[in-house]
Amino acid sequence: MIFANVLSQLPIALPAISYKAVAPELVLFGGALLILLVSATVGKRELPGLYRAIALVAALAEGGFSGYQLYLAQGAKASLAVAGAIAYDGFSAFAGIVVAAILLLAILIGPGFIKRIAGDGPEFLVLMLISAMGATVMAQGEDLIVIFIGLEILSIALYVMVGYRIGDGLAREAAFKYFILGGFSSAIFLYGIALVYGATGTTNLAKIGAFLALNVLTHDGVLLFGLALLLLGFGFKVSAVPFHLWSPDVYQGAPTSVTGYMAAMAKVGAFAALIRVFDIAFAGQIVQWRPIVVGLAILSMVFGALFALRQRELKKILAYSSINHAGFILLGVYAGTAAAISNTLFYLIAYAVIVVGTFGLVSIVQDSIGVSEGSCSLDQLRGLARSRPALATVTAIMVLAQAGAPFTTGFLAKFSIIVSVVEIREYWVAVVAMLSAAIAVAFYLRIVLAMFRGEPEEVEGERVLAIQGAATEAPARRQALAWIGVSLSLVFTVGFGIFPQPLLDLAARAHIVG
Amino acid sequence: MGYLDWLIAVPAVGALVVPFIPVSEERRSLIRGFGLAISLVELVLAAVVGVQFNSHASGYQFVTDVHWIQSFGVSWFLGADGITLVLILLTALLFVIAMFAMKGVKDFRAYVGWMLLLEAACMGSFTSLDLFAFFVFFELTLIPSYFLIADFGMGASGKAAVKFFVYTFAGSALLLVGIVSLVFIHDSETHRLTFSLPALMDTHLSGTTQLLLFLAFTAAFAVKTPIFPFHTWSPDAYRAAPIPAVVMLAGVMAKLGSYGIIRFDLELFPSTARSLAWLMLTLAVIGILYGAVVAAGERDLGRLVAYSSLSHMGFIVLGIFAFSTEGMSGSILQMVNHGIYTAALFLLLGMIYERRGTLDMAKLGGLQKRAPIFAAVFMLVVMASVGLPGLNGFIGEFLILVGTFITHRWWAVVAVAGVVASAVYMLWAYQRVFHRSQADASPFGEIKLKEALLVAPLLALIVLLGLYPAPLLARIDPTASAVVQHVLAAKGPVSDGASLPAVVKGVK
């Protein structure tokens, strides 16, 4: 406070900061700092239990704050804070809950496996909390600059996490690729912000919206080009076709726990910001951006499904599957109605939980067959149903949930997006989306079939031995927490798949301020 | 919970329990016992529903209607009328048989689990009156049937399973878009978001919209039935899949298609159904003849039965789109009959395959001398399938042809050729397999007691329903005539009602 007082004496005017509004970020950042502090002062670097406890508390507190915000931020209570740069509304609160859910699952699943490749140091959890903070900043950002800062916080932490298996050539390549291309896309995004500022004279979303509502630009080329660049930046983050080229390699090269976390967290942050920027601030320009967004969505859905058919590497298949999902979520952005936005949020939380759970299961599988966190071909899954029936069954359910199997949130998510698209009477888009889902089913089934197929006779004995050998290395403790995380995501996916009403009600409260 | 809820819940819970039964590999027959027990409970439940069913009413009985997902206006809305009832009975019966017919299955746990899930999904599809719930169950049938086809196949089953899945899923993709579009059109008219079938029947649709929706719905059902030209997945799947899976596929799942046509196409889009009747009738007749011709040329018994099934499903579609009570009742009855004799036929094929390792007719022959009782049983089933009076296939086919003749004379006349042709190819097949000099000198075991017990209930029903179909017909008739009345009474589409089709003139 003294520091703030001193600063306020200076000629720079500091805005009033509503700490209530930024509580989620503060909690996450505080948690990260606390872990670092503990690791620096206690004298013993590896305190996995304590770090994990702190991270879990931070995640739960963040979820709690967001839940409270969602409860408060109804109608009149929604507001802008910190000189209008931070939105404090139901939408950001719901995004905060999604972030908390991802964190919770990822903290339970990840560290045990990361330990095997990088020890029990504090860095992993710290990076996780910081990147989650970036995602919440993006979800709350009401100013393009703030969104950009959030994007960078999220991305830089993720670059480091992707490079965790630095000894492995594939992983090194992936981290490098992700970093270079991510840097490019950030730069392009920033250029887009500059152009929008040039056209409208402000970077604040509310002011941009107001400006565009009052003024008609005689030459809107600068604005539209700026919009296109913003879309490109977001497209990279969510890996929409044709900006998807990095994602299969990165998904494969990154440690499995990181892949799942990244797939979920990056999408939540980027889509939350994308919705706020396009569906709210540039709602007036919908005629211009809609064709581009629907084009990206269709390309992502169709090519995501088609390319995956030819892959034999599990994590690459899941990468293309996430591209297909990104296409579906983009359709929600494309529809843009209030109902479509809450349906998109529903898709995001459903997808985030499923994807973290799925990759958690892949981690457990890899741990069992002794390829920790690396790449994993479909052949390596063979015979899993015989050696680990429970593991195979749960994995099958999660993979089928991604495919949109009935009685899972995966189906309801796809269904709600189709509802949104039909609501704006774009029937052919809905048909294309469903047909892409039909193609996608083929590769999801291949994963499941690989597990349930028996393995070739000649290597059978050897492989079973290998699995048992790995099993006797006491993975039970390592896997116990991961199993809790995976079970939570399974319960969530099937439970809300059968009784989705509470979740839908929550999503329906997620109004955007302004 | 009503009976219908239990019908869905019992196998669903069973399927969830199966993977976690702590039984070692050696005592895996316990799992089989579990599956049998569940499917028998299910049969008893279905029988209770059958007994308590009021056969004089045409409306829905045993109705459950509770909110499920308010945001989308979805409710858990179940009900049974005459059509539903007979299909429930058929499903419950065939699943018991399929549970017994587990010979050659390696992984009992997976088999029983998927079978029970499939049963729950089939029961759910037949009883749901909420379009969302129906779609969900309709989709759910795909997953277990995919695994049943792919996992225990006789060869190229993986490919056939994928073909099956992609075809049917693409069909239901259109169905989903159709359902959601219909619901939103209804919502914009009445400001009531609902997926309930009776409510949606009141939607006012323009001619083009109704046509498009009808086509979207029919796409899904035509693939499942299968109706020519959407049948190409079926011979591969029927041939490649293991016998118990085919029994379910041809016996029960094919009925999902024809059931969907009656329940949804006719109820929701009656006037389009009437104006497109010529198309559906023509496709049905082409299917009947095409199936018969190809079956006559087939050398493989499995594919032959698959094509004959296409031909017979054509009859069912013919009866539906004839829009006369006789035709409709005949079609519904024939769904049951076809399920029974096709199941029996595939079970017998499975026994031949087990003994000889082939279904190629060129390599079989002279089996009658070695196994006369087996041959007699086979003959009986073949005769039922051909439609010999006194056996169950006859009644349905006869009613369908009479019903079609009343309203659409020429289609019926052409379709009769299919009856004749079916006698030709079936008897040829019988002759090749059972008479002739034997191509293979190895012994062919007589039908065993276990096998006999497996087909005995089906044989009994073949004879019983052939001689005395009244109990079923009494339950079917009120519903059938209500559906026909609904279609015939429907006014033309909202905007272009002037173009009353020639079909209706034919009725008068």
Residues A21-38: what's their mean pLDDT?
91
Residues B453-472: what's their mean pLDDT?
87
- What is the chain A residue with the closest CA to B121? A406
Condensed to tens digits (0 to 9), the pLDDT of residues A445-490 reads 888 888 877 654 434 444 444 444 444 445 666 788 889 999 999 9
- What is the chain B residue with the closest CA to A391? B19
Query: Which residue range is the domain that position A69 belongs to?
Result: 15-508
Q: Could A434 and B174 be called an inter-chain contact, meaning their C-beta atoms sit closer than 8 Å?
A: yes
Q: Could A445 and B177 be called an inter-chain contact, meaning their C-beta atoms sit closer than 8 Å?
A: no
CB contacts of B69 in chain A (<8 Å) are: 412, 500-501, 504
Q: Could A504 and B71 be called an inter-chain contact, meaning their C-beta atoms sit closer than 8 Å?
A: yes
Of A452-466, B175-189, B457-471, minimum mean pLDDT range: A452-466
In this structure, what are the phi and psi dihedrals at residue A231, rounded to the nearest 5 degrees? -65, -35
pLDDT for residue B438:
67
CB contacts of A390 in chain B (<8 Å) are: 19-20
Residues B8-18: what's their mean pLDDT?
88
Contact A256, A359 (CB under 8 A): yes
CB contacts of A505 in chain B (<8 Å) are: 71
What value of ipTM does the predicted structure carry?
0.85
Chain B contact for A504, CB < 8 A? yes
Query: Hey, what amino acid is at A405?
Result: A
Chain B contact for A120, CB < 8 A? no
- Write out the two tokens for A468: 């048992």
Condensed to tens digits (0 to 9), the pLDDT of residues A229-255 reads 999 999 998 989 888 888 999 999 888
Condensed to tens digits (0 to 9), the pLDDT of residues B200-252 reads 888 888 888 889 999 999 988 998 888 888 888 888 888 777 888 888 888 88
Alpha helices in B191-323 (DSSP H): 197-200, 207-224, 233-240, 243-248, 254-260, 267-268, 270-275, 277-297, 301-321
CB contacts of B145 in chain A (<8 Å) are: none
Query: Of the ranges A309-313, B362-366, B450-454, which is most confident?
Result: A309-313
Distance from CA of B365 to the nearest CA of A (A): 35
- What is the chain B residue with the closest CA to A396? B143
Residues A400-408: what's their mean pLDDT?
90
pLDDT for residue A457:
41
Of A68-77, A412-421, A502-511, minimum mean pLDDT range: A68-77
At residue B38's C-alpha, the angle toward residues B35 and B42, to 5°, is 135
Dihedral sign of CA atoms A109, A398, A309, A346 in order: negative
Condensed to tens digits (0 to 9), the pLDDT of residues B280-292 reads 999 999 999 999 9
pLDDT for residue A354:
95
Alpha helices in A119-204 (DSSP H): 123-140, 144-162, 169-200
- What is the chain B residue with the closest CA to A389? B19
Distance from CA of A339 to the nearest CA of B (A): 10
Q: Which residues contact B186 (CB under 8 A, 6 or more apart)?
A: B192, B194, B199, B200, B202, B203
Q: Could B180 and A430 be called an inter-chain contact, meaning their C-beta atoms sit closer than 8 Å?
A: yes
Best CA proximity match to B175, nearest among B140, B141, B134: B134
Residues B455-461: what's their mean pLDDT?
88
- What is the chain B residue with the closest CA to A428? B177
Contact B121, B11 (CB under 8 A): no
Chain B contact for A146, CB < 8 A? no
- Compute the mean pLDDT over every residue in chain A, rounded to the nearest whole number: 86
Cα distances (angstroms) measured from residue B238 to each of A390, B106, B141, B419:
31, 20, 16, 22
Query: Hey, what amino acid is at B487?
Result: V
pLDDT for residue A398:
92
- Write out the two tokens for A51: 């770090």
pLDDT for residue A28:
94
Condensed to tens digits (0 to 9), the pLDDT of residues A333-350 reads 999 888 899 899 999 999
Alpha-carbon distance B456 to B392, whole Å?
15
**Closest in A438, A441, A501 to B69, CB measured:** A501
Alpha-carbon distance A379 to A365, whole Å?
13
Dihedral sign of CA atoms A492, A495, A498, A501 in order: negative
Condensed to tens digits (0 to 9), the pLDDT of residues A405-441 reads 888 999 999 999 999 999 888 889 999 999 999 888 8
Alpha-carbon distance A371 to B57, whole Å?
64
| DSSP-derived 3-state class of residue A293 | helix
Condensed to tens digits (0 to 9), the pLDDT of residues B339-397 reads 999 999 888 888 888 887 777 877 777 777 778 888 888 889 988 888 888 888 888 88
Q: What share of chain B is helix, strand, coil (3-state, %, to 5)?
A: 75, 5, 20
Condensed to tens digits (0 to 9), the pLDDT of residues B306-324 reads 888 888 899 999 999 988 8
Burial of A217 (0-12, 13-18, 19+ CB in 10 A): middle
**Closest in A415, A418, A441 to B165, CB measured:** A441
Residues A47-60: what's their mean pLDDT?
89
Residues A275-292: what's their mean pLDDT?
88
Q: Which residues contact B22 (CB under 8 A, 6 or more apart)?
A: none
pLDDT for residue A459:
43
Alpha-carbon distance B217 to B224, whole Å?
11
pLDDT for residue A495:
92
Q: Could B162 and A411 be called an inter-chain contact, meaning their C-beta atoms sit closer than 8 Å?
A: no
Alpha-carbon distance B430 to B411, whole Å?
29
Q: Could A505 and B136 be called an inter-chain contact, meaning their C-beta atoms sit closer than 8 Å?
A: no
Chain A residues 352-391 within an 8 A CB cutoff of chain B: 385, 389-390
b/e A237-274 (16+ beta carbons within 10 angstroms → b): bbbbbebbebbbbbbbbbbbbbbbbbbbbbbbbbbbbb
For residue A34, is pLDDT > 80?
yes
Distance from CA of A447 to the nearest CA of B (A): 12
Distance from CA of B243 to the nearest CA of A (A): 19
CB contacts of A393 in chain B (<8 Å) are: 19
Distance from CA of B177 to the nearest CA of A (A): 6
Cα distances (angstroms) measured from residue B339 to each of B210, B279, B309:
32, 25, 10
CB contacts of B165 in chain A (<8 Å) are: 441-442, 445
Q: Could B165 and A385 be called an inter-chain contact, meaning their C-beta atoms sit closer than 8 Å?
A: no
Percent of chain A with pLDDT over 90: 43
Condensed to tens digits (0 to 9), the pLDDT of residues A127-183 reads 999 999 999 999 999 999 999 999 999 999 999 988 888 778 888 888 888 999 999
For residue A321, is pLDDT > 90?
yes
Percent of chain A with pLDDT over 70: 91
Burial of B488 (0-12, 13-18, 19+ CB in 10 A): middle
Q: Which residues pair with B328 in a beta bridge?
A: none
Mutation for B interface: A342, A398, A418, most B CBs within 10 A:
A418
Contact B166, B230 (CB under 8 A): no
Q: Which residues contact B456 (CB under 8 A, 6 or more apart)?
A: none
Distance from CA of A296 to the nearest CA of B (A): 21
pLDDT for residue B152:
55
Query: Hey, what amino acid is at B426?
Result: M
Chain B contact for A464, CB < 8 A? no
CB contacts of A385 in chain B (<8 Å) are: 110
Of A113-122, A490-499, B77-86, minimum mean pLDDT range: A113-122
Chain B contact for A431, CB < 8 A? yes
> Where residue B166 falls among pLDDT bands split at 50, 70, 90?
confident
Chain length of chain B: 508
Strands B74-80 and A79-81, how do they pair?
unpaired
Residues B459-484: what's their mean pLDDT?
88
Alpha-carbon distance B342 to B381, whole Å?
8
CB contacts of A504 in chain B (<8 Å) are: 69-72
**Closest in A407, A453, A501 to B140, CB measured:** A407
In this structure, what are the phi and psi dihedrals at residue A370, rounded to the nearest 5 degrees? 80, 20
Residues B295-300: what's their mean pLDDT?
86
For residue B85, is pLDDT > 60?
yes
The label of the residue with tokens 């994928």 reads B162
Residues B156-163: what's their mean pLDDT?
74
The label of the residue with tokens 């270079």 reads A180
Counted domains in chain A: 1
Chain B contact for A424, CB < 8 A? no
Alpha-carbon distance A473 to A368, whole Å?
10
Cα B279 to the center of its chain, rounded Å: 21
